Amino acid sequence: MDELTAVLRAREFVNKVAPSVFPVSVKSYAAEIGAAIYVDADMAPYEQGYCVEVRGKFRICVNEKDDETRRRFTVCHEIAHRVLGLPSEHDGVSSWSYAKRSPNEILCDVFAAELLLPYKLFKPMVEKAAIGLSSIYDLAEGCGASRLATASRFATLVRAPCAFVLAEQGKVRYAARSTALREARAWIPLRADLPNASAASRLRADMACSCPEELDADVWFENWSRGGILLEDARHLQKWDQTVALLWFEDEEMPSETTDPRQREEEENGLAELDGILPWPGKKRRK
């Protein structure tokens, strides 16, 4: 199964339950597959959840030691196993490490993120929000979803050219890109080291950084010829040696496609004068 199939199946599922407010009710989702949620006090700290049938009744069990956000995700993840028909591969899998998760587990995570942040409800919020990690973390809080899942969904759905990158032990493990970046082939190589000049890399090295920072787009994007200035907002989690970075183009616009730096400079500086219309900064900026 590929990711698109998992996404489409998740959207079908969401349409059946039709949630209308955040945080969405995971109980209603569980009820849709005839399951009740059960909080298990005897699970090991690293375990998240499992499904079991007790006297003909289907139960989704979540770990009492996990917080509410994690439990909500687990419920949706377990629903994914059931709906997609993918077996659990939870042995020795860490809940936080992307690198160590199997492809089937990642598909179930993708499905779960679609349930927690349904496209129809979440997309309008994304377009209204300011681009930046703190505004995304506020959204996560309001939606009862994890910061990583929310940031990843945000970058995927936002209209502006934007990407969200997750690195573990200094290596890029995951990158979500908006349609604008995917279409422009802004490629962030996986398994590569965080770029030296990036704010993410400097934060990880314990160097000062006043995020969001401005930097050339080709610091992050491989074989990038459009130029342009990226804004990078980054955070580093020492505990797990996990680094995240949100990237977007200033003014939320993709630089035009030209490989000649002189021509690019002319376009950037010259055109505004030619049409005689002064660019109105407030128009492009978000609140």
Closest CB 77 distance from Zn ion, rounded Å: 5
Nearest-CA neighbor of 200 among 176, 223, 228, 219? 219
**Given the complex with Zn ion, which of 65 and 182 has the nearer CB atom?**
65
Q: What CA–CA distance (Å, rounded) separates 223 from 156?
A: 21
The mark string for 35-54 relative to Zn ion (x by CB under 5 A, - otherwise) is: --------------------
Q: What CA–CA distance (Å, rounded) separates 165 from 193?
A: 12
Q: How big is the chain, counted in residues?
A: 287
Closest CB 51 distance from Zn ion, rounded Å: 10
Closest CB 110 distance from Zn ion, rounded Å: 12
Q: What CA–CA distance (Å, rounded) separates 149 from 157?
A: 12
DSSP strands (E only) in the chain: 35-40, 49-54, 57-63, 162-168, 171-177, 213-216, 229-237, 242-249
How many residues sit close enough to Zn ion to count as binding (CB under 5 A)? 3
The tokens describing 104, both together, are: 């089937």
Closest CB 146 distance from Zn ion, rounded Å: 15
| Under rule CB under 5 A, residue 225 binds Zn ion | no
Q: Which of residues 97-126 bind Zn ion (CB under 5 A)?
A: 105, 108
**Given the complex with Zn ion, which of 105 and 232 has the nearer CB atom?**
105
**Given the complex with Zn ion, which of 109 and 168 has the nearer CB atom?**
109
| Under rule CB under 5 A, residue 25 binds Zn ion | no
| Under rule CB under 5 A, residue 88 binds Zn ion | yes
**Ramachandran region, residue 164 (left: φ > 0; alpha: ψ -120 to 50; beta: rest):** beta
Binding site for Zn ion (CB under 5 A): 88, 105, 108
